[in-house]
């Protein structure tokens, strides 16, 4: 039993490090790269910005919830509720083959309300920040007692980092707005392992690692609107936000069973507590509206992932590098012209983004190129809308040690405007 416990211990610590060198790892639900760290970073922008490949820090829509920049909440006129769901399809390929899988996810929820209409607003939201959802399978050989022992390990992971936030936005004057938000970050991740030892006297082993943690976070934002820059009724928008670094108070627990008998692995694997340090994030951008019909935006972000630290996976820290992302997008609202044509009743958005990624494996940046397109379906009886967005992206590189992912995504977002404060007109 002690020898088996030793093997299990080696598997737990060896498998997490082996992913970076293994070309046999395949994605079975989400991104295979979500195995590293505390999951892969997710987009935290609203549906309008995602449909343009943007962050949403330099512009906002009166009838769509804004989550990217706290300063925008100062412009809130109507009560707005937002809910989002999505489906992503990942085709992961390496030197040995490929596999395709799908992942259903529940996105952000937000309630944005005016305290003083168009001057002071409040927002409460819940949003996933990272997601770990993967399955890997590896075959290895371990030396035991001077003899080779063949075994396989299946690793399934789920969970990630989430954020519950409450914040306030204030429009100081017609040109400048500022905002602040405080949040509770909470981490919940489960790694389950199944170790099989074919053609050996050792029995199969099942064990799991549970990681949890929490901490408070803070972010600030500012927004500047400059009208009549090049022509009458145009507008230039400038926005920036800063998310301060977060240090999670984390805890790791291990449990395991072998066949039908329980085995306590804490002596060998050592349940532990320790910090997980997350980086500062800086976002900024500009947008230009020549009229209410059209808008063009250019936005980017920086995240200092080179300073990431995880006491539970110190061997992975060297894989993390600073992340940069840039996006260019456009939106077109033909309905503002008053046209009664069918195709003129929708909101149209499109754009592209390039993300250098926060991982460097074997000298290769795990970057992502994405293209996005979205349609906004307006309610005929209110200012509410349904946004459909479509994405196609390419992540990573297909080499002997890495996985290339082709990603298709569809998102549906419900924007309920005038949830409160709506008063029907008297007939």
**Are residues 51 and 349 in contact, defined by beta-carbon separation less than 8 angstroms?**
yes
Q: Kindly give, in sequence order, each residue whose CB lies less than 8 Å from that of residue 165, ignoring residues fewer than 6 positions away.
A: 123, 124, 125, 126, 127, 181, 182, 183, 184
Phi/psi for 269 (5° steps) reads -100, -20
CA distance 337 to 382: 18
**Are residues 108 and 411 in contact, defined by beta-carbon separation less than 8 angstroms?**
no
Residue 328: what pLDDT? 98
CA distance 32 to 398: 13
pLDDT tens, residue by residue, 264-310: 333 455 678 899 999 999 999 999 999 989 999 999 999 999 999 99
Residue 24: what pLDDT? 43
Residue 109: what pLDDT? 94
Q: Please report where in the chains the tokens 């007692």 appear, as a residue.
A: 145
pLDDT tens, residue by residue, 168-182: 999 999 999 999 999
Domain 2-417 adopts which CATH fold? Answer: Porin (2.40.160)
Residue 38: what pLDDT? 94
Tokens matching residue 78: 């109507």
Tokens matching residue 289: 């509206």
Q: What angle do CA 221, 227, 233 make, to 5 degrees?
A: 135
CA distance to 42, 56, 131, 279, 280, per residue, from 157 (Å): 16, 31, 10, 23, 26
Residue 398: what pLDDT? 75
Residue 14: what pLDDT? 42
- pLDDT(393) > 80: yes
The least confident of 18-32, 133-147, 244-258 is 18-32
The least confident of 88-92, 197-201, 282-286 is 197-201
Confidence of residue 345 (pLDDT cuts 50, 70, 90): confident
Buried b (16+ CB within 10 A) or exposed e, 128-164: bbbbbbbbbebebeeebeeeeeebebbbbbbbbbbbe
CA distance 69 to 111: 14
pLDDT tens, residue by residue, 20-74: 333 344 444 788 899 999 999 999 899 899 999 999 999 998 889 999 999 999 9
Mean pLDDT of the chain: 85
- pLDDT(198) > 80: no
**Are residues 83 and 50 in contact, defined by beta-carbon separation less than 8 angstroms?**
no
Residue 103: what pLDDT? 86
Out of 145-149, 191-195, 268-272, 382-386, the most confident range is 382-386
**Are residues 422 and 382 in contact, defined by beta-carbon separation less than 8 angstroms?**
yes
- pLDDT(320) > 60: yes
Residue 8: what pLDDT? 44
If one counts every other C-beta atom within 10 angstroms of the C-beta of residue 341, the result is: 9
Buried b (16+ CB within 10 A) or exposed e, 292-315: eeebbbbbbbbbbbeebbbebbee
If one counts every other C-beta atom within 10 angstroms of the C-beta of residue 384, the result is: 19
CA distance 293 to 62: 14
Out of 87-101, 267-281, 318-332, the most confident range is 318-332
Residue 255: what pLDDT? 76
Phi/psi for 277 (5° steps) reads -100, 120
**Are residues 140 and 131 in contact, defined by beta-carbon separation less than 8 angstroms?**
no
Residue 291: what pLDDT? 92
Residue 234: what pLDDT? 93
CA distance to 109, 359, 361, 376, per residue, from 316 (Å): 32, 10, 10, 41
Q: Kindly give, in sequence order, each residue whose CB lies less than 8 Å from that of residue 36, ignoring residues fewer than 6 positions away.
A: 19, 20, 316, 319, 359
- pLDDT(105) > 50: yes
Beta bridge partners of 413: 84, 387
CA distance 102 to 85: 14
Tokens matching residue 108: 């952000």
Domain boundaries, the chain: 2-417
Tokens matching residue 24: 């046999």
Tokens matching residue 295: 């808008």
Residue 2: what pLDDT? 40
């Amino acid at each position: 039993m002690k020898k088996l416990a030793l093997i299990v211990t080696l598997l737990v610590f060896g498998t997490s490090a082996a992913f970076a060198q293994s070309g046999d790892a395949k994605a079975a639900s989400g991104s295979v790269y979500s195995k590293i760290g505390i999951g892969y970073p997710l987009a935290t922008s609203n549906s309008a910005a995602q449909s343009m490949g943007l962050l949403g820090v330099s512009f906002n829509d009166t009838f769509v919830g804004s989550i990217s920049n706290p300063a925008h909440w100062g412009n809130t006129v109507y009560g707005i509720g937002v809910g989002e769901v999505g489906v992503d399809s990942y085709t992961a390929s390496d030197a040995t083959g490929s596999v395709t899988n799908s992942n259903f996810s529940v996105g952000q929820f937000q309630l944005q309300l005016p305290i003083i209409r168009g001057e002071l607003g409040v927002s409460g939201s819940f949003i996933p920040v990272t997601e770990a959802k993967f399955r890997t399978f590896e075959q290895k050989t371990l030396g035991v007692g001077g003899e080779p022992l063949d075994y396989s390990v299946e690793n399934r992971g789920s969970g990630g980092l989430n954020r519950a936030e409450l914040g306030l936005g204030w429009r100081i004057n017609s040109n400048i707005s500022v905002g602040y938000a405080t949040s509770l970050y909470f981490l919940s991740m489960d790694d389950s392992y199944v170790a099989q030892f074919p053609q050996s006297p050792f029995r199969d082993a099942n064990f799991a690692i549970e990681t949890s943690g929490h901490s408070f976070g803070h972010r600030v934002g500012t927004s500047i609107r400059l009208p009549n820059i090049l022509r009458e009724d145009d507008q230039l928008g400038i926005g920036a936000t800063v998310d301060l670094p977060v240090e999670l108070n984390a805890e790791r627990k291990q449990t395991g069973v072998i066949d039908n008998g329980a085995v306590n692995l804490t002596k060998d694997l050592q349940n532990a507590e320790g910090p997980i340090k997350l980086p500062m994030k800086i976002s900024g951008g500009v947008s230009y509206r020549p009229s209410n019909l059209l808008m063009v935006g250019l936005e980017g972000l920086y995240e200092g992932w080179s300073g990431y630290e995880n006491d539970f996976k110190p061997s992975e820290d060297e894989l993390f590098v600073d992340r940069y992302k840039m996006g260019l997008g456009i939106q077109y609202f033909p309905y503002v012209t008053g046209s009664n044509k069918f195709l003129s009743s929708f909101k149209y958005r499109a754009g592209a983004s390039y993300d250098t990624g926060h991982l460097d494996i074997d000298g290769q940046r795990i970057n992502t190129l994405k293209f996005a397109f979205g349609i906004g379906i307006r309610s005929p009886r209110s200012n509410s809308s349904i946004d459909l967005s479509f994405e196609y992206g390419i992540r990573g590189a297909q080499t002997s040690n890495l996985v290339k992912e082709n990603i298709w995504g569809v998102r549906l977002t419900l924007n309920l405007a005038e949830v409160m404060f709506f008063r029907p007109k008297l007939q």
